[in-house]
Every structure is written in structure tokens, then in C-alpha cells.
Amino acid sequence: MKKNPSLIGLLIICGLIAFILLFYNTFLNKKDGYVIDNPSKKTINIKINDKNYTIAPQQNARIELPKGKTKISYTFNNKNTDTIIDIVRSSGLINPTLQDYYTFTRPYGVRKNKDSIFLSKNIAIDNQIYHGIIEKSSKLYIENFYYNLDQDYPRIFIKSGSSDKNTDLSKIFNKENFKQFYFENYE
């Protein structure tokens, strides 16, 4: 049988594309979405857009939501909440217990005075100072971050676009997970 260079080239290209897709889905792909978190010791029943969710104590659940107006109703600690939130971004955190969450922004890449920028901002948590770009929020709906509770910062980061543009990636943490993350990475 005679070798067909076109067929061999097509098979090599298909194999290369399959490898690239596998690498992307394994290491680089970020799944956007919304998380309901329950850090309390009580089960929470929450109704979002006429759909019921039950979140066990110390658990969270990923859900799908459309952008725009979203109706949320639930009862927690004998307090009824029935409200409408406006979903703008492609990922967010629903915080029915109104606990404190911390958004930490990590700079990627080379930039001037990165250490001085990092040390110039700080926040106190349980009488300890934490340096960096850290925002505290206890709102019902939080969406000022890039990586959600159930996602980690990437081990590999490929910067796209011009090299003059700063890249900062933010992640949301509950208080205990943030303290542990900070201890492991910055102390």
C-alpha cells in the first residue's frame, strides 16, 4: 500500500488538536458559575427563581443562573429574606448566612514596585494584619472576583494580550480558608 502524505498530515493535525484540547481542559479551562455557600451548622432551604435548593451544613453547591434579575427567598435564624438581585457577571457567590468573605487579588507578571503595592494595602482579621489587595464582604450576593470558592488559583497562567497590561486575578474565600491560604503562601 502506498503512503498518502495528505492523510498522514491530516492525522498528525487531528492528534495535535486533540492534545491541545486535552491540555486546555485539564490545566487552563475555568468553569464559570454560581455557588451557594452554607458555612453554618444548620441546613438551608433556599428558593431561587422558583427552584428549591437544600444546602447541608458546611457545604456549598454550584448552580446555573441566567444573567439579569433573580429572585431569592429563604429563612435563616428566624429571619425571612425575599429579595431580587441583579446578576451581571458570569460567576458569583450567594451568601444566605451573610458571613464574611474575603476577595484576594493576586498580581501576575512583572511590574514595578509590586512588593510595595502589596504591602501598602492591608486588612485586619481576628486582630492579625494581612497585606495585599483584600476586600471584605458580607452581602447576600457577591461577584467581585474571578475564581469562586470551589476553584483554585491556576498553577499555570498564560498571559494574553500586550505585555504592558497588568494582570490581576482575584479569588473569594471564607474567613478560615483565607487565613489558611495566606499562611501557606505569604507567611
Convert the chain into a string of H (helix), E (strand) and C (coil). CCCCHHHHHHHHHHHHHHHHHHHHHHHHCCCCCEEEEECCCCCEEEEECCEEEEECCCEEEEECCCCEEEEEEEEECCEEEEEEEEECCCCEEECCCCCCEEEEEEEECCCCCHHHHHHHCEEEECCEEEECEEEEECCCEECCCCECCCCCCCCCCCCCCCCCCCEEEEEEEEHHHHHHHHHHHHC
Please indicate, yes or no, whether residues 151 and 98 belong to a single structural domain of this protein. yes
Report whether pLDDT(100) > 90. Answer: yes
Please indicate, yes or no, whether residues 1 and 92 belong to a single structural domain of this protein. no
Per-residue pLDDT tens over the stretch 45-62: 999 998 999 999 999 999
Please indicate, yes or no, whether residues 101 and 17 belong to a single structural domain of this protein. no
Please indicate, yes or no, whether residues 104 and 137 belong to a single structural domain of this protein. yes
Containing domain of residue 7, as a range? 1-30
Please indicate, yes or no, whether residues 76 and 26 belong to a single structural domain of this protein. no
Please indicate, yes or no, whether residues 107 and 46 belong to a single structural domain of this protein. yes
Please indicate, yes or no, whether residues 156 and 134 belong to a single structural domain of this protein. yes
Please indicate, yes or no, whether residues 42 and 22 belong to a single structural domain of this protein. no
Please indicate, yes or no, whether residues 92 and 124 belong to a single structural domain of this protein. yes
Any bridge partners for residue 102, and if so which? 136, 173
Please indicate, yes or no, whether residues 89 and 162 belong to a single structural domain of this protein. yes
Per-residue pLDDT tens over the stretch 134-168: 999 999 999 989 899 888 877 665 555 555 566 77
Please indicate, yes or no, whether residues 43 and 25 belong to a single structural domain of this protein. no
Please indicate, yes or no, whether residues 9 and 76 belong to a single structural domain of this protein. no
Under a CB-based contact definition with an 8 Å cutoff, are residues 140 and 36 in contact?
no
Per-residue pLDDT tens over the stretch 5-54: 888 888 899 999 988 888 877 766 667 789 999 999 999 999 999 899 99
Under a CB-based contact definition with an 8 Å cutoff, are residues 40 and 10 in contact?
no
Report whether pLDDT(108) > 90. Answer: no
Overall number of domains in the chain: 2
